[in-house]
């Protein structure tokens, strides 16, 4: 009770005097409000970092942000390195080493024109040297890979049939195929004889059965 009376006394006008332990407005020991709002640990750490680095408060904040970004990038790089496959991408797929694949790859490579950029002219880069390696034939006004394939196949078939051994029996498949093919290629005789082979076959048949009521003999039918 005695201490309370010493702390709080009534003045002559009957008003209470201020407490002794409450600071006044002009007290120089009052701390800044912004410093009181922050935890003392953060304020102390910030001051130590600023003293060691010599950076301002803004520079210190920027450095902290950059450090956080760098840590995130390092984590991303490490994650990608761990998840990256050990086998190279080119080794994950088998490469065809068959003779047909090698021939096809060689044909494609022969048509490449490395002097042309594929970003500017894809056709010139992929097929720029095709006409140089495959000249236009005299009897053609247009020449393409498809027509070249068709002509090569015709030449292959011609060589295959022409080199067959002479069949001994006229009713075999080999004999029919060989002479039918040679007859189709004999354009000189075809232009001279024209319909004579067909007339000969019809004559061998005898009566013309397609018009039984009009003609009784092939002699009455004029081709």
Q: Mean pLDDT, to the nearest integer, of 2-16?
A: 46
Q: Where are the domains of the chain?
A: 54-82
Residues 6+ positions from 59 with CB-CB distance below 8 Å: 53
- Mean pLDDT of the region 79-92: 77
Task: Tell me the H-state helices in the chain.
Answer: 2-7, 33-37, 40-53, 57-83, 99-111, 122-127, 130-133, 145-162, 173-185, 187-193, 196-205
* pLDDT at 11 (0 to 100): 47
Does pLDDT of 78 surpass 80?
A: yes
Phi, psi of 88 (to 5 degrees): -60, 155
Q: Residue 2's pLDDT band (boundaries 50, 70, 90)? A: very low
Task: Tell me the pLDDT tens digit for each residue of 23-77.
Answer: 555 555 545 444 445 567 777 777 777 777 777 878 878 888 999 999 999 999 9
pLDDT of residue 153: 92
- CB-CB contact of 206 with 222 (8 Å): no
Query: Collapsing DSSP states into helix, strand and coil, what is residue 16?
Result: strand
Residue written as token pair 């010139």: 124
What is the chain's mean pLDDT, rounded?
75
Work out the number of other CB atoms within 10 angstroms of the CB of residue 60.
Answer: 15
Nearest to 219, CA basis, from 209, 187, 206, 163: 206
Residue 149 class from Cβ within 10 Å (0-12 exposed, 13-18 middle, 19+ buried)?
exposed
CB within 8 Å of 23: residues ≥ 6 apart:
29, 30
More confident residue, 29 or 90: 90
pLDDT digits (tens, 9 = 90+) for 136-167: 888 888 888 889 889 999 899 888 888 878 77
Please report the pLDDT score of residue 21 as a whole number: 54
Q: What is the mean pLDDT of residues 115-129?
A: 89
Q: What is the dihedral of CA 133, 135, 140, 145, to 10 degrees?
A: 10
Q: What angle do CA 205, 207, 209 make, to 5 degrees?
A: 100
How confident is the model at residue 12, as a pLDDT?
Answer: 46
**Local structure of residue 10 (DSSP, 8 states):** B
């Amino acid at each position: 009770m005695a201490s309370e009376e010493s702390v709080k006394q009534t003045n002559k006008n009957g008003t209470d005097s201020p407490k002794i332990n409450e600071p006044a407005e002009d007290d120089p020991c009052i701390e800044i409000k912004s410093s009181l709002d922050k935890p003392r640990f953060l304020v102390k750490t910030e001051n130590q970092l600023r003293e060691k680095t010599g950076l301002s408060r803004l520079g210190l904040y920027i450095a902290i942000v950059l450090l956080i970004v760098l840590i995130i990038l390092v984590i991303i790089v490490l994650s990608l390195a761990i998840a990256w496959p050990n086998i190279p991408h080119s080794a994950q797929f088998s490469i065809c080493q068959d003779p047909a694949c090698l021939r096809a790859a060689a044909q494609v490579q022969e048509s490449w024109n490395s002097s042309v950029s594929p970003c500017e002219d894809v056709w010139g880069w992929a097929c720029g040297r095709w006409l140089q390696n495959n000249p236009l034939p005299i009897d053609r006004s247009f020449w393409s890979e498809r027509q070249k394939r068709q002509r090569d196949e015709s030449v292959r078939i011609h060589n295959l049939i022409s080199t067959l051994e002479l069949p001994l029996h006229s009713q075999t498949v080999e004999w029919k195929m060989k002479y039918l093919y040679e007859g189709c290629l004999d354009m000189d005789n075809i232009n001279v004889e024209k319909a004579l082979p067909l007339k000969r076959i019809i004559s061998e048949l005898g009566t013309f059965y397609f018009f039984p009521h009009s003609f009784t003999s092939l002699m009455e039918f004029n081709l």
